[in-house]
Amino acid sequence: MTNKIKLLLKEKNAVLLAHNYQPPEIQEIADLCGDSLELSIKASKTDADVILFCGVHFMAETASILSPEKTVLLPRQDAGCPMADMITPDALTAKLKELPPMPVVTYVNSPASVKALSTICCTSANAVKVVNSLPDDEVLMAPDRNLAQYTAANTAKKIHFWEGYCPIHDRLTPEDVQKVRQAHPDAVFMAHPECRPEVLELADTIVSTSGMIRYAAESESNEFIVGTEAGLLHPIQKANPGKKFFPASAAMICPDMKVITLEDVARSLEFMEGVVKVPEDIRVPALKAVERMINL
Ligand code: 13P
Ligand code: SF4
């Protein structure tokens, strides 16, 4: 299957991008693995004709926003993101009517139609930087309330937030972390900003998925508790073979990030199945918000 995919990638002049949460066998055949920010930048720079995205729907949409001339494939249309589904353009428009005029900073984990109504996008790797780049004193952040509260704690600006969350990160509790800490007292606790504020309070560092890989490599510690989706254990262990990694909770598995199989990838490439194309009336305004972030 791997050989078939490699041949198809060449034949179609395609690039395979995989998020850090994808199953190991998918990460192993990818041209690039990374966090949301790295994948957005890579998708904006590639000269391939086809981008095959192994991730979830909003990631393929972002690739389509940045590369309208390319064919973007998501091998499974049922790979969504429950947090992205917690916001709609109509609901955002209604919320903005209740507030004084202010910019909207939208997490990339959102539908393209919501990005189209936003001032600028952000990822978990750059949320504070993005908010601080704006001249306004008040900002609405959507859809992740945990990322918004983390940002609020690290900026002088007033942050209004949307009541969305990632069900996978939001389920991690301080008790879960304390249990793993008791079993591994020397381990450093790394948390993703999608976790709840009371969990982030316990963290030694708060970073994106690729931020965790870099932090573990640069740290003098040898043991780490990984406070994010379980898929990260594969690339972080691979990049740091001499170090030990423990999941903060066995329950942190995102089913949407696990649906794509090698067979799906091969079928999608062979028959150009699973095309994701953002319509121009949404793409053009969404591009402004995504490009503003990338330029920053
Ligand atoms: P990052 O890879 O940007 O840290 O995102 C985490 C995530 O939940 C993506 O769905
Ligand atoms: Fe969405 Fe959370 Fe899954 Fe990421 S881990 S795709 S934010 S549900």
Q: Which ligand is nearest to the CA of 123?
A: 1
By most ligand atoms within 8 Å of CB, the mutation choice from 21, 35, 166 for ligand 2 is 166
Q: What is the pLDDT of residue 44?
A: 82
Order of strands, edge to edge, in the sheet holding 104-107?
120-122, 104-107, 138-142, 158-161
Beta-ladder partners of 142: 106
CA dist 240 and 249 (Å) reads 21
**Atom 1 in ligand 2: which residue has the minimum CA distance?**
81
The residues, ordered by sequence, that sit 6+ positions from 105 with a Cβ below 8 Å of its Cβ are: 118, 119, 120, 121, 122, 127, 130, 131, 134, 139, 140, 141, 142
CB atoms within 10 A of CB 19: 25
The top-level CATH class assigned to 172-251 is alpha beta
| 2-80+257-279 fold | Rossmann fold (3.40.50)
**Atom 3 in ligand 2: which residue has the minimum CA distance?**
254
Phi, psi of 276 (to 5 degrees): -115, 120
**Token pair for 283:** 């793409």
The residues, ordered by sequence, that sit 6+ positions from 57 with a Cβ below 8 Å of its Cβ are: 74, 77, 79, 80, 81, 84, 276
CA dist 118 and 107 (Å) reads 10
Q: What is the pLDDT of residue 41?
A: 86
Flag whether pLDDT at 252 surpasses 90: yes
Per-position b or e across 151-161, b if 16+ CB within 10 A of its CB: bbeebebebbb
Q: For residue 140, count CB atoms less than 10 angstroms from its CB and return exposed for 0-12, middle for 13-18, buried for 19 or more.
A: buried
* 2-47 pLDDT, tens digit each: 999 999 999 999 999 999 999 999 999 999 999 988 887 888 888 8
DSSP 203: -
By most ligand atoms within 8 Å of CB, the mutation choice from 124, 129, 146, 212 for ligand 1 is 124
CA dist 78 and 87 (Å) reads 18
Q: Which ligand is nearest to the CA of 169?
A: 2
* 71-82 pLDDT, tens digit each: 999 999 999 999
CA dist 65 and 118 (Å) reads 14
Q: Pick from 66, 65, 116, 64: which is nearest to 89 by CA?
A: 116
Q: Calculate how far, in angstroms, residue 132's C-alpha sits from the geometric centre of ligand 2.
A: 25
If you average pLDDT over residues 121-128, what whole number do you get? 95
Question: Where on the phi/psi map is residue 148: left (φ > 0), alpha (ψ -120 to 50), or beta?
Answer: alpha
* 200-246 pLDDT, tens digit each: 999 999 999 999 999 999 999 999 999 999 999 999 999 999 999 99
3-state secondary structure 212-277: HHHHHHHCCCCEEEEECCHHHHHHHHHHCCCCEEEECCCCCCCHHHHCCCHHHHHHHHHHCCCECC
Q: Is the pTM of this model over 0.85?
A: yes
